Structure 1
Amino acid sequence: MITEKFRRQLRKEAKLWQTEELISDRFYQQLSERYQFDALEETASARFITILISLGGILLGLGIITFVSANWQQWSREVKTLLLLTLFILVNTCGFYLWRQSNNLPNTTSKKQRLGHGLLIFGALILGANIALMAQMFHIGGSPFGLYIVWGLGVLVMAYSLQLESLGIMAILLIGLGYFMGLSTVFDSVEFSWLQAIIKYMALMAVLLLIPLAYWCSSKIIFFLATSILLIALEISLWQIVYLSNNGVWGAIALILPLALLWGYDDTILPKIDSLFFQPLARSLAIWYLSIGFLCLSFRGIWSYVLTQDLSDGDTSLQFSWLTLIEVLIFIGFSIWEWFNLARTNRTNSHRWQLDSVSSVILGFIVVTTILCFWHLSINEIPEIATFIINIEMFLLAAGLIRIGLMRGIRGGFWGGLVLLTLQILCRTFEYNTGLLLKSFVFILCGVGVIAAGLWFERHLLSKN
């Protein structure tokens, strides 16, 4: 993105180069035409005019709001509806017109386009106010989470229509807020409604509506937010089945399915997708999930008091739903398909099935953790053995991240592994009854180790580059 500050600095330097005869007058003229040096002063004047117009617009808006507030109760419902719809259409029309204005300078955004973008976001905010006021005027009852979900769906339509990342982010945040506010309805045996269906099957909704938006807008932020909502909704559905069935198999699946989905994700298995847009992000999220999961499961108390064989504890308030089971089975099937596709990506020999070394290690973590959870929840509780094995896996994960960071020169991998290893040592020190002298020694050792390893890695990275 070429900014005005860059153009001013370039004009200053170009004049200096022309004076020192480092560039010819013709080359300076080409730079001037390409970066529009002559339009810089006009831009400054236009900025001042924009500030004056914005100030006047704010005062005008405050006056209109005050006038509407003074007469709102006296106006009829039809006048209020007409006023709200007119404001919504006017703001979005002006925003779309300014946002679609062409820009002479490539790779830049003009003031009109930024103003239009801002008006479109303002129009999305007006949409929420219109929904709330319309519901109040026509005496349509409902819960707050329903307002946020309907508002988010409306903004989602705008995001798809305009292909704007900002509107997509706003839509997902609104839907996510409504989802978390309405989670309690999942556990209530109340009358069925379409809003409760969205809440209950949010994971499928994320796959059908939110993930495609990330590709449509080419936005990693939207993919991250959509994936986060999907995994949270899927985990809630899984743990409902776990508590209802009280089966260790479902408990193990609930722990490892998000990891399997994230690491096996491949953009090219989707139709009309030829490159890996979001696979690196999905695998980074998988490493984060695995690290946090190992960190939590490395405590003996989790296996002794949380993950027990009697998970339901006699709770019968939840009701079994075949649709929830079908939803979970769809994701399990998709995960298996992902890993089969991951294993047969060998282009030289299509009949040979083989995983790369990192995927093989991740698969090993999945298999070992699944067997461990199943044995602990279904056959015999083994908190000591489970804690020991999880700590070994956590150490191997940290060592693997450090090794990958060193081999490929990836700072994130090296520092992630180092932090994970340090957290493991500190957690074990505080989990068990150790003296203050030992704790102080561990703190000093970890601090010196992190500083020494970090300095050595940065020096190694500079020499490698």
Structure 2
Amino acid sequence: MRNQLLKYLQELVQAQVISDQTAEDIQQYFARKQQASPNRSMMVFGILGALFVGLGILLILAHNWDHFSRATKTVIAFVPLLAGQLACGWTLLKHPQSASWREGSSTFLFLAIGSCISLISQIYNISGSMSSFVLCWMLLGLPLVYVMRSGMSSLFFLTGVTFYGWEVGYNFSGGHAPWLYLLLLALALPFYIQLLRKRPNSNFTYFHHWLLALSVVIVLGSFSGSQDHWMFVAYFALFALLYLYGQTAFFEQAKMVYNAPRLLGSLGSVVLMFIFSFYDMWKDVLGDQEWLFPLQRDVWIALLLSLAAAGLYFWLRRRAAENWEPNPMSWMLFFFIPTFVLGHFLPVVATIVMNLAIFLLGIYEIREGARDRELGTLNFGLLLISALIVCRFFDTDISFVLRGILFVLIGAGFFVANYRMLKAKKSSNPSTEQQHDPQ
């Protein structure tokens, strides 16, 4: 890449497009940028090396574990922990700016902490639950995130915190709301904010986008109480909040695959809309006699998330002024809440309204995709309408012949729409064809 850049710079100088001084400034800029950016391959291999070394030590020790005395086992349990601490100390003293050293040593120490806790518990028969083990491990590993400035340790911490919330909240032997999960998640947010400000385009930042969003989506349901139907509103508000967060300045230059909040927010909202497009779902909601009063935590969670999403929506609208064109996904929450309330009194009407909303959303996406010539948006709209038709197969008594005809029409619609889009794109770029025309 660097040699190719130098080649183009020489061509531009010879063609007198840029001056010699400008070419030299460009070379110096990219040289400084290359020195400042960490060696990604070294960092990846450092993390993998730490993982394999830790696993190898565990396998070697496990082979002769029963033959060791208790004192020997205790010493062995602490050896990886001490080795990891020495490696981290050496890194802070000798290589504080090396990302590969920081990530590799902190990864090894983070795993060594969990290994030491589990081995000591096994050696001395210390009883405890899985949630308490994970909680202890995460609390002891948290300082590595900030002391070592380690993105991998932060990802480990978020994974463990998510597992803790799942284990406490969804425990079938007596689960309860994992309120401590919120505190643990808040402890990880300063590092995430630091990544957003200093390294917005790094791989660790992209992984944090995904893991944070997935963590909240997974654990939110564990806070449900006696009025669990309101958790649907809470989830819809959460997906709206994620979608709006994906439209902030942090994600202006990010591709869709890296924009985890927006992707999860749109997919989650669509899934919930399809769930409530079935009449049976509204019948279950209608059967809840105490759907609003007395107010339980489900209602308060839904209310707080809805207010947060509404606040972010109006903040984005005011900040962008006339330049912001909100997608229907941005304000779909304001449509879903009154429809949800309506469903407690008129479930048939709510079902029709939800089906109509999905259909109109599909039409909107098709129109936007055709206007902007975006195949992804166009196919998303076609997929919405196709999925809506398929879902209605389960509600209505339609003959197999008619169903087959509809499937053929859906497939033909996909083919024709994509063919016309590709043809329009090709005709709009005649210069590309001229460049490849052999004469």
Do they superpose with TM above 0.5? yes
2:133 paired residue number = 147
Matches within 5 A, 1:36-185: 65=61, 69=65, 72-75=68-71, 79-80=75-76, 82-93=78-89, 100=96, 114=100, 117-137=103-123, 139-184=125-170
Q: Distance in 1 between matches of 2:211 and 2:242?
A: 14
1:368 paired residue number = 335
* Alignment deviations for residues 217-267 of structure 1 (CA, whole Å, 9 cap, x no partner): 341321222122223433443x42524xxxx8x467435322442344389
Relative to structure 1, is the Cα distance of residues 101 and 90 closer, same or farther in structure 2, using a 3 angstrom cutoff?
same
Instruction: Give the total of aligned pairs.
Output: 383
* Alignment deviations for residues 153-176 of structure 1 (CA, whole Å, 9 cap, x no partner): 444432333333333222222222
Letter in 2 for 1:164: S
Any stretches of 5+ residues in structure 2 without a counterpart? 11-22, 32-45, 197-204, 430-439
Instruction: Give yes or no for contact 2:225–2:296 (8 Å, CA) kept in 1.
Output: no
Q: Distance in 1 between matches of 2:149 and 2:422?
A: 41
Q: Distance in 2 between matches of 1:397 and 1:324?
A: 28
* Alignment deviations for residues 197-224 of structure 1 (CA, whole Å, 9 cap, x no partner): 7x23535643x23444333234132122
Matches within 5 A, 1:45-444: 65=61, 69=65, 72-75=68-71, 79-80=75-76, 82-93=78-89, 100=96, 114=100, 117-137=103-123, 139-184=125-170, 188=174, 199-200=178-179, 202-203=181-182, 205-206=184-185, 208-218=186-196, 219-237=205-223, 239-240=224-225, 242-243=227-228, 250=230, 253-254=233-234, 256-265=236-245, 275-277=249-251, 281-304=260-283, 306-310=284-288, 330-345=304-319, 356-358=324-326, 362-363=330-331, 365-377=332-344, 380-382=345-347, 384-444=348-408
Cα shift at 1:60: 9.4
User: More displaced, 421-430 or 154-163?
Assistant: 154-163
Relative to structure 1, is the Cα distance of residues 286 and 440 closer, same or farther in structure 2, using a 3 angstrom cutoff?
same
Cα shift at 1:338: 1.9
Q: In the alignment, does 2:439 pair up with 1:461?
A: no
1:447 paired residue among 400, 408, 411: 411
Cα shift at 1:361: 6.9
Q: Distance in 2 between matches of 1:172 and 1:258?
A: 18
TM-score by structure 1 length? 0.66
Q: Distance in 2 between matches of 1:291 and 1:98?
A: 51
* Aligned CA-pair RMSD: 4.6
Q: Distance in 2 between matches of 1:98 and 1:459?
A: 59
Cα shift at 1:441: 0.8
Relative to structure 1, is the Cα distance of residues 325 and 146 closer, same or farther in structure 2, using a 3 angstrom cutoff?
farther
Cα shift at 1:135: 3.1
* Alignment deviations for residues 317-368 of structure 1 (CA, whole Å, 9 cap, x no partner): xxx99888766654444334323323422569xxxxxx954257742x3333
Q: Distance in 1 between matches of 2:325 and 2:116?
A: 55
Aligned sequence identity (%): 19
Relative to structure 1, is the Cα distance of residues 228 and 67 closer, same or farther in structure 2, using a 3 angstrom cutoff?
closer
Relative to structure 1, is the Cα distance of residues 437 and 333 closer, same or farther in structure 2, using a 3 angstrom cutoff?
closer
1:271 paired residue number = none
Question: SS at the partner of 2:65?
Answer: helix
Q: Distance in 1 between matches of 2:182 and 2:58?
A: 42
Question: SS at the partner of 2:319?
Answer: coil
TM-score by structure 2 length? 0.69
Relative to structure 1, is the Cα distance of residues 64 and 224 closer, same or farther in structure 2, using a 3 angstrom cutoff?
closer
Cα shift at 1:414: 2.1
Cα shift at 1:77: 7.4
Question: SS at the partner of 2:71?
Answer: coil
* Alignment deviations for residues 403-462 of structure 1 (CA, whole Å, 9 cap, x no partner): 222333444322222211211122223432211111111111111111221222233334
Letter in 2 for 1:307: V
Q: Distance in 2 between matches of 1:63 and 1:259?
A: 43
Instruction: Give yes or no for contact 1:308–1:376 (8 Å, CA) kept in 2.
Output: yes
Letter in 2 for 1:262: L
Instruction: Give yes or no for contact 2:162–2:219 (8 Å, CA) kept in 1.
Output: no
Any stretches of 5+ residues in structure 1 without a counterpart? 1-5, 18-26, 36-49, 103-112, 190-195, 269-274, 314-319, 349-354
Q: Distance in 2 between matches of 1:366 and 1:63?
A: 51
Cα shift at 1:61: 5.1
Relative to structure 1, is the Cα distance of residues 115 and 181 closer, same or farther in structure 2, using a 3 angstrom cutoff?
same
Q: Distance in 2 between matches of 1:258 and 1:333?
A: 10
Letter in 2 for 1:345: R
Question: SS at the partner of 1:367?
Answer: helix
Instruction: Give yes or no for contact 1:124–1:155 (8 Å, CA) kept in 2.
Output: yes
Q: Distance in 2 between matches of 1:60 and 1:373?
A: 54
Instruction: Give yes or no for contact 2:54–2:112 (8 Å, CA) kept in 1.
Output: no
